Structure 1
Amino acid sequence: MAPQYLNSPRTHRGVRSRLTLLIAVLLVIAGCGGEDFPTGTGRVTKVIDGDTIRVRLGSKTETIRLIGVNTPETKAPNKPVECRDRYGRLLAYVYRVSDGLFINLSLIAEGFGRAMPFDDTPTFHAQFAEAELTARTARLGLWGACPQ
């Protein structure tokens, strides 16, 4: 059973308010080789959950799954990395344009999600793992609500 903290409207508001501050994001698609996947600047139109957002990229809207971070949700996303997941969501590292904030890392560092390694994209493994350990030690976000 999930801790009460996960079902709290305050938790959802906190994650939602942090992510809705993303007026525009820079998308960097990891591990997509030569395939034609969108990169560039877009506008966040909806926050679906802690690691999934909808972004308007030009004339198309994409559902994007943030790479390397796993936040509480109803479906288990522990699948191998691809350019898109089994739900059709684009897998991406997301940065806030206004200040360069690395959203994937920020969610982990603030205790809103776990580091989730992707074998094909080891670029941020160490950074994400260190951020999770620091958040756990400081009992930030989810780590403050769960007994150790």
Structure 2
Amino acid sequence: MRHRNPLTPQRLFGLFLLALLCAAPASAAETISARFLGALDGDSLRVVYQGGTLEVRLIGVDAPEYKQEYSRKAKEFTVRFCFNKTLQLEYDKERKDRYGRHLAYVYHNGRMLNRELVRAGLAIPIRVKPNTRYFEQFLEAEKDARENRRGFWIKGGLDMTPAQWRKTHPRK
């Protein structure tokens, strides 16, 4: 016995919705709200989310390390940006790094901390695939900081990048 499924308006509508879902971007950016708890350094912070504590590493930027020049200014900038605020954390493709830290773009009132740190001359852009959604914006922010001699660009940049500093000053 042959079973026939006629294309009713309801089935056409269902197919239409399915096609729209398939055509939509694979992953819209997921965002969560979390309360600022403290800054570990310029590009790492702790937040309270659903009663627990999350350690967050800013995506796409690298701020000076502890005891490196401008490290205190970068941390102070992060504290001022986030202090006593509820922040929005936007994830990219990879949500956590190998240390278990949440990787995020951090916002308050529509301003992104990652980009503002670079624009202030207190961090450099870094491309870490696959999380590269705003990398071009970070390069533009760096160009702006250099041209306007902000932060460490007032003296032409850092003596060593944070990555170079970590290699020559390993944690004990």
| C-alpha separation in 1, matches of 2:119 and 2:106 | 15
* SS of corresponding position for 2:133: helix
Q: Is 1:52 matched with 2:44?
A: yes
Q: Which of the residues 86, 91, 114 maps onto 2:124?
A: 114
Superposed CA offset, 1:76-98 (max 9, x none): xxxxx8422232211101101xx
Alignment TM-score, normalising by the size of structure 2: 0.55
Q: Which of the residues 70, 89, 95 maps onto 2:101?
A: 89
Q: Unaligned stretches of 5+ in structure 1? A: 1-32, 75-80
Q: Is 1:138 matched with 2:148?
A: yes
What is the CA distance between 1:122 and its match in structure 2?
Answer: 2.6
What is the CA distance between 1:118 and its match in structure 2?
Answer: 2.1
Alignment TM-score, normalising by the size of structure 1: 0.63
Match of 2:19 in 1: none
What is the CA distance between 1:63 and its match in structure 2?
Answer: 0.4
Match of 1:64 in 2: 56
Amino acid at match of 1:73: E
RMSD of aligned alpha carbons: 2.2
Structure of larger gyration radius: 2
| C-alpha separation in 2, matches of 1:46 and 1:88 | 18
Match of 1:128 in 2: 138
| C-alpha separation in 2, matches of 1:147 and 1:89 | 28
Length, aligned pairs only? 104
* SS of corresponding position for 1:123: coil
Match of 1:42 in 2: 34
Q: Percent identity?
A: 38
| C-alpha separation in 1, matches of 2:134 and 2:157 | 27
